[in-house]
Structure 1
Amino acid sequence: KKKPVFVEGGMPDEVVDAELTEEHDTYCVAEIKKVIEASPRRRRPMCAITKECGGCPLMHADMKGQLRMKSSVLKEALKKYAGYSGAILPIIKNPDVLAYRNACKLRFFNKDNEIICGLYEKDSNKVVKMERCIIHDKDLERVRVQIVQILNAHNAKAFTKKEECGYRSLVMKSFDHKVQVILVTSRMRIEKNMIEEIMEIDGVVSLWQSIKSQDESELDVFGKRMVHLAGLEKMEVKVCGLDLALLPRSFFQLNTRQAENVYSVVRDWTPKCRTVVEAYCGIGAMALLAASKARKVIGIESIEDAVINARENAKKNNIGNVRFICGDAGEELIQISEKKKIDTLIVDPPRSGLDEKMKEAIIDARVRTIIYVSCNPSTLAKDLGFLKAQYAIKKVQPVDMFSQTPHVETVVLLERKEPERRQKN
């Protein structure tokens, strides 16, 4: 049986000597031992730890090569899972291919009697110490280094299961040279003078502590308890003319400039109609932008902090025809569609795509227009494959949101197919 072989670090049109490292039922993985004939698009990675870190697996390709690979992955996924071989609009290039990432979540570790900040090496428990990340916003990196210095000056220790006390993670957001810092810790008190020193770092305007007990899930970086330590409670970002506020748990796209391009596409593709629903709406940016196209807009989001922000953002921007609901996307969509006709549905689900309840809710709601925003071509294409019996793909717009990585943001416009008319005898 023929199976595809994924050659890590390989590029199209190259000749390589590779060795199989993994064999699965439907695919294999191979490791390059030697590049025999290199692609003209291959380059030397700009980061010294790119192989160990694994966070930027396309850094060995120049930008033209990266965009070609991303476009190819999207094209093949749409063809394989959704049976779509139509046109795909040219990918919107990232104006900042380095230092674009406005947020980070990093682990604290103990090493050589010091606390360090870094990542796990790919597929291992080995720690990769990060001297500098070149895709992080420069303010994030500068603040990160100074926070680690302050922690070490106070003899701080990273959390371990053995000690059960210490610092777990460092989470930061940066907008317009203003940085929010969230220290995720065990049940402990952070010294007052340490708080003051962190707030003295140039650009730091907000400091929070997230307290996470040992029995809480590792799937969520944050603990259940959030404590505001100093500075601003919320961060502010301006996008597409909107003034938006974010609490620590609220999600925002990791690339601010490309987020504007995605939001602009969604706004432009939203038809004038009576009712728009945005599922997985976060802090409400796309719902608020769609408000000019509809009489009524409803946003659905499961994270309570994000819903609080979304409601405040509607007031802040004087937009009165939008309301936000906290709940499960599929369940809420069912309830809304039972009460009123939904003309347009905007969805921006997590990487795992739409769950079964949401897919069935979409079919039952008989929405005329769907705008699907995705960061995962595979799950996007599989969901479109499920919807294709009733919906036709009209436009596909890829956006290079995450340069140096294989991820590609994609906006897809779908329209409900007209039922076939019965011919008279």
Structure 2
Amino acid sequence: MDCAYFDAGRCRSCTLMGVPHPQQLELKQGRTAQLLGAVPGLRWDEPFAGAEAGFRNRAKMVVGGTWRKPTLGILDAEGHGVDLRRCGVIDPAITDILPAIATFIRVARLHPYDVPTRRGELKHVLVTANPRGELMLRFVVRSQDGVDAIRADLPGLLQRLPQVLVVTANLLPQHIAALEGAQEVHLSGPATLDMPVGGLHLRLRPQGFFQTNTEVAAALYAQAAEWINEAAPASVWDLYCGVGGFALSAAAPGRQVLGVEISAEAVEGARAAASQAMLDGVRFRSGDATAFAQGSSADEQPELIVVNPPRRGLGERLASWLNECAASTVVYSSCNAESLAKDLERMPGWRPVRARVMDMFPQTDHFEVITLLRRA
């Protein structure tokens, strides 16, 4: 893949831009194998590679410039906007609407937030696309004035963009390096965006986490389901379950599945998806995964545990608990091979027997790796 922004030095976020995709996969698998070290009997499945362009189902566009001439993209080293509205790794369903969003900013006179002076109203525009091209649109603003300005001119925007099904405003008044704040204001459409992923129908709420690459997410859930069904457990926990992708994939007649996630927004979406699919054996609860696990007794613990932690990994407490728990199988999905390797060092009672790199983030050195762990 080629990128004019990268070639011009305007954006270097895609650190592997220009490297042939097969070579990117070799680098990622080689890096993971190096970090995990020599593991007797470990079988590496062929890396999964989806599309190398247009794969990002979510765009996080920083708004810069002026309300008359806004930029949608990133900030440069001085905190000024760099326009990237034709970014090639973003789903075209998203990039196609960005000119209309820029026009809306002008019509609504939404002053972009200027980081150096700490003035302005509109910070970010966040857009999520499902495989049908339907969109969730979120405006991150500093105050209620921004919410009111968006609401006043929103009907015209929705008339122009009927594919935008869900619209919200998020309030982030503080001058901090954060993508969004805690308060979300619903402006239009349903509470969730339907996200078909393989055979699943997930429900995305505005602040619920979901994998950035829908095609690779479907393959990731399918791989986990294959390993889970081979193990044939009667009970499964999905820790850090997000919107429920792994938990819903683990569903089977007679099997009890419980997903645990700290984000109440994500849990609401997961429950809606389970209800829509009429999966009575799948439940979700909101709470800290480590605290939940440590508070369980041996007879409450499942036969199989799925973990999908953030980049920092499981941490010492949960890794130590997993090392001693009653489960016989663990499926570990990691977005950071370094933290995966550290966690496995903390879990000498487990041995990886299968591993597969899932190229969730082509053109970058980031990726997902899923491993199947058995008792050592």
Shared fold, TM over 0.5: yes
Moved runs in structure 1, 4+ residues, more than 6 A?
none
AA matched with 2:193 = M
The structure with the larger Rg is 1
Please show how residues 230-245 of structure 1 align to structure 2 within 5 Å: 230-245=188-203
User: Is residue 100 from structure 1 mapped to residue 55 from structure 2 by the alignment?
Assistant: yes
User: Is the contact made by 1:105 and 1:169 (CA closer than 8 Å) also made in structure 2?
Assistant: yes
> Aligned partners of 2:4 and 2:303: how far apart in 1?
47
**Percent identity among equivalent residues?**
25
2:362 equivalent in structure 1: 403
User: Is residue 45 from structure 1 mapped to residue 2 from structure 2 by the alignment?
Assistant: yes
User: Is the contact made by 2:140 and 2:169 (CA closer than 8 Å) also made in structure 1?
Assistant: yes
> Aligned partners of 2:333 and 2:78: how far apart in 1?
32
How far residue 142 of structure 1 moved from its aligned partner, in angstroms, is 1.2
2:315 equivalent in structure 1: 355
User: Is residue 75 from structure 1 mapped to residue 30 from structure 2 by the alignment?
Assistant: no
AA matched with 2:268 = I
How far residue 279 of structure 1 moved from its aligned partner, in angstroms, is 0.4
How far residue 145 of structure 1 moved from its aligned partner, in angstroms, is 2.2
- Cα–Cα, structure 1 residues 87 and 242, in superposed 2: closer, same or farther, change >3 Å? closer
> Aligned partners of 2:118 and 2:239: how far apart in 1?
42
> Aligned partners of 1:184 and 1:125: how far apart in 2?
17
CA RMSD of aligned residues (A): 2.1
> Aligned partners of 1:301 and 1:112: how far apart in 2?
39
How far residue 352 of structure 1 moved from its aligned partner, in angstroms, is 1.3
How far residue 274 of structure 1 moved from its aligned partner, in angstroms, is 2.2
User: Is the contact made by 1:272 and 1:294 (CA closer than 8 Å) also made in structure 2?
Assistant: no
> Aligned partners of 1:368 and 1:277: how far apart in 2?
12
User: Is residue 196 from structure 1 mapped to residue 155 from structure 2 by the alignment?
Assistant: yes
> Aligned partners of 1:228 and 1:403: how far apart in 2?
33
- Greater shift after overlay, 338-347 or 97-106? 338-347
2:137 equivalent in structure 1: 181
Number of aligned positions between the proteins: 366
User: Is the contact made by 2:195 and 2:201 (CA closer than 8 Å) also made in structure 1?
Assistant: yes
Task: Structure 2: give runs of 5+ residues left out of the alignment.
Answer: none
Picking from 350, 373, 376, the partner of 1:414 is 373
1:266 equivalent in structure 2: 224
AA matched with 1:120 = L
Query: Cα deviations across residues 57-93 of structure 1 (Å, max 9, x unaligned)?
Result: 11121112212211221121222xxx53744221112
> Aligned partners of 2:265 and 2:82: how far apart in 1?
32
> Aligned partners of 2:142 and 2:285: how far apart in 1?
32
- Cα–Cα, structure 1 residues 386 and 326, in superposed 2: closer, same or farther, change >3 Å? same
Please show how residues 13-28 of structure 1 align to structure 2 within 5 Å: none
Length-normalised TM-score, structure 2: 0.91
> Aligned partners of 1:294 and 1:356: how far apart in 2?
33
2:94 equivalent in structure 1: 140
User: Is residue 309 from structure 1 mapped to residue 264 from structure 2 by the alignment?
Assistant: no
What secondary structure does 1:190 align onto? Answer: helix
> Aligned partners of 1:93 and 1:112: how far apart in 2?
40
1:152 equivalent in structure 2: 106
How far residue 356 of structure 1 moved from its aligned partner, in angstroms, is 2.2
What secondary structure does 1:251 align onto? Answer: coil
AA matched with 1:203 = Q
> Aligned partners of 1:345 and 1:408: how far apart in 2?
22
> Aligned partners of 2:12 and 2:307: how far apart in 1?
29
Structure with greater contact order relative to length (CA < 8 Å, sep ≥ 6): 2
